[in-house]
């Protein structure tokens, strides 16, 4: 059971770190054309506004992934703890 817990923890860490790494790439790639457009004085103000919206959308999306991952991890941990308790109690019940 402890190995399953460890695996759940490892998968949760991997998803969290991967989401953060991909988020960085996503933000960099999305901002590249916008940063070029911002060099045109007439477009600077509207593009900055669009950039804020895009960045907020991207970070929110990855934050949702991280939150779902965290909550799923907590749920799995709870289920495993419950199963561990059941497995621990069962032999004692049998003895009785």
Partner 1 sequence: MNTSGPSNLQPDLSSKTAFVQDSGFLKPQAQTSLILWKKRLRAAGKSLQKGANVGVGILNGVVGDYLHHHDNPLAVRMGFYFKGKPLPLTPDALRSVYPHMTSKICVIIHGLVCDETIWNFPGSPQTNYGALLQRDLGYTPFYLRYNTGRHISENGRNLFELMGELMAAFPMPVREIIFITHSMGGLVTRSACDYGLRADAAWVKKVRKLFYLGSPHLGAPLEKLANAAAFVLKKFPRPYIKIIGDAINVRSSGIKDLRFGYVTDADWAGRDPDLFLKNTKNRLPLMEGASHYVITGRLTENPMHPVSRWFGDALVRKPSALGRSRRMEHSLGFPPCHHREYPAMGHMKLAHSPEVYDQIREWCEQPIIHERHIHE
Residues that bind partner 1 (CB under 8 A): 2-3, 5-7, 9-10, 13, 21-22, 24-25, 28-29, 83, 86-87, 90
Q: Which is nearer to partner 1, 17 or 52 (CB)?
A: 17
State the nearest-atom distance from the C-beta of 14 to partner 1, in Å: 9
Q: Which is nearer to partner 1, 29 or 36 (CB)?
A: 29
**CA–CA distance, 84 with 80 (Å, rounded to integer):** 6
**CA–CA distance, 17 with 13 (Å, rounded to integer):** 6
The 8-class DSSP code of residue 40 comes to S
State the nearest-atom distance from the C-beta of 41 to partner 1, in Å: 26
């Amino acid at each position: 059971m402890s190995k399953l817990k460890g695996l759940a923890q490892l998968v949760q860490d991997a998803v969290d770190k991967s989401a953060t790494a991909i988020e960085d790439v996503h933000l960099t790639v999305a901002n590249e054309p916008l940063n070029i457009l911002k060099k045109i004085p007439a477009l600077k103000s509207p593009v900055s506004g669009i950039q804020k919206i895009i960045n907020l959308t991207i970070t929110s999306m990855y934050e949702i992934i991280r939150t779902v991952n965290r909550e799923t991890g907590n749920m799995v941990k709870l289920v495993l703890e419950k199963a561990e308790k059941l497995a621990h109690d069962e032999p004692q019940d049998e003895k009785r």
